[in-house]
Amino acid sequence: MSEDAPAIEVSGLTVTFGGRLRAVDGVDLRLERGQTVALIGESGSGKSVTLRALMRLHPERRTDVGGHVRIGGRDVMALSRRDLAAYRGREVAMIFQEPLLAFDPVYTVGRQITEAIRTHEPVSESAARARALALFERVRIPSPGRRLDAYPHELSGGMRQRAMIALALACRPKVLLADEPTTALDATVQIQILLLLRELQRELGLSIVFVTHDLGAAVEIADRIAVMYAGRIVEEGSAAQVVRTPHHPYTIGLLRSRAEGALVKGARLEAIPGGPPDLANRPSGCAFRPRCFLAEGRCADDPPVVTPAPGQRTACWHAEAAATAGHAASDAAAVA
């Protein structure tokens, strides 16, 4: 791993299933070391597929993956089977939405962590166990020694997610991929896990890709936010840029349709009309155009990527007009 390369560099990533269904359609993403990017989008937007492609988790026989993925300067697409096994867990680790499914139900969580450590490093069973114990303390699992010998089903939801974070960090990876890790949790537990991830990221210098559909969770954890729609990143910028000065009509629509943004209680929400597109029949050009309030003829052509501010990019023909409309709406909200 070269030291000055960005943590993640993705360019032109495409993922096609079964030769027909293009779930990811040209994603470019760059993540500096020690930063967190949130990939947000609705179901079917390709955010989880993108995340899995970073670890090459898609079954190779049925999936065509194109483009380049470099993690820490290393070409992931070129890794041999053997190098890939060493890379997974050691350099990049993943945590999932449902830890009960991610853990093996017939082994204790402690055994699964020591197994992971000993797969990657030549250490003794007792040394691995000591490290697992330290990890459990690190992710603040109460009475960690006892919990190591628990089976996954014996832990509560929040504790299971902590245990999975411990498992992911067992081999000191540099990059952590998180696939909706807090979606199934109560809000009171979600915020604990988000704070834990933030703290671990700071202390271990982790780079995190955090996939979520919840803008609120994204703002709590991420330095940068990338908004995905129909397999593409339509807007990317710092968390503040995306939330305060969005330039893509879809981002603006997402922000406006939130229930807490309603001007008057019980007034109608400004919902985005229609539903997410069918990926098998993706509209040409901008895929959001059938639902967009600014759509016109040229939107049928691929939109240009514009840079409204340093560090922010938006794929839209009407980025400025959209931003003005978005501003007018939020000013109206501020007045009301």
Partner 1 sequence: MSVIPGTPDPFAQDRGGPAQPLLTVAGLFKHFPVRKAGAGKQVVRAVDGVDFEVLKGETLGIVGESGCGKSTTAKLLMGLIERDAGTLLYDGQPVGARAMPWRAYRRQAQMVFQDSYASLNPRMTVEQSVAFGPRVNGVPGRQAVERARALLARVGLEPHRFAGRYPHEISGGQRQRVNIARALALEPRLVLLDEAVSALDKSVEAQVLNLLLDLKQEFGLTYVFISHDLNVVRFISDRVMVMYLGRVAEIGPSDTVLAAPEHPYTGALLASMPSLDPDARTEVAPLAGDPPNPINPPSGCRFHPRCRLAEPVCAASEPPLDPLGPGHSVACLARQPGSGHGLAPRERIAA
Helix 81-90 to helix 109-120 angle, to the nearest 10 degrees? Answer: 130
- For the bound state, the minimum distance from the C-beta of residue 172 to partner 1, rounded and expressed in Å, comes to 25
Compute the distance between CA of residue 58 and CA of residue 60 in angstroms, rounded to an integer.
6
Residue linked to tokens 């890709």: 209
Task: Give least dist CB 63 to partner 1, A.
Answer: 24
Which of 305, 283, 291, 180 has its CA nearest to residue 233? 305
- Residue pointed to by tokens 């729609």: 229
CB of 81 to partner 1, least distance (A): 37
Q: Give whichever of 25 and 220 is closer to partner 1, judged by the CB atom.
A: 220
- Which residue's CB is nearer to partner 1, number 146 or number 298? 146
Find the DSSP H helices in the chain: 47-54, 81-90, 99-102, 109-120, 125-138, 144-148, 157-168, 187-204, 215-221, 239-244, 249-256, 319-335
Q: Are 140 and 196 in contact (CB under 8 A)?
A: yes
Q: How far is the CB of 95 from partner 1 (least distance, A)?
A: 18
Nearer to partner 1 by C-beta: 99 or 158? 158
**Is residue 161 within 8 Å of 185, Cβ to Cβ?**
yes
> What is the distance, to the nearest Å, from the Cα of residue 115 to the centroid of all Cα atoms in its chain?
27
**Which one, 106 or 271, has the nearer CB to partner 1?**
271
Interstrand relation of 92-95 and 74-75 (parallel, antiparallel or unpaired):
unpaired
Q: Indicate the residue among 46 and 158 with the shorter CB distance to partner 1.
A: 158
Taking the complex as a whole, the smallest distance from the CB of residue 12 to partner 1 amounts, in Å, to: 27
Which residues sit at the interface with partner 1, rule CB under 8 A?
42-43, 142, 156-159, 186-192, 194-195, 213-217, 219-220, 238-240, 243-244, 253-254, 257-260, 262, 265-266, 268-273, 275-276
Nearest Cα to 164, choosing from 176, 203, 175, 41?
A: 176
Q: What order do you get walking across the sheet with 8-17 strand by strand?
A: 21-31, 8-17, 63-71, 74-75
In angstroms, what is the minimal distance from the CB of 256 to partner 1?
9
Angle at CA 114, nearest 5°, toward 112 and 118? 120
Looking at the Cβ atoms of 116 and 194, the one nearer to partner 1 is 194
Q: Can you spell out the DSSP letters for 26-61?
A: EEEEEE-TT-EEEEE--TTSSHHHHHHHHTT-S-TT
Task: Give the three-state DSSP class for 233.
Answer: strand
**Minimum separation from the CB atom of position 9 to partner 1 (A):** 25
Chain center to CA of 48 = 7
Q: Shortest approach of partner 1 to residue 119 CB, angstroms?
A: 30
In whole angstroms, how close is the CB of 216 to partner 1 at the nearest point?
Answer: 3
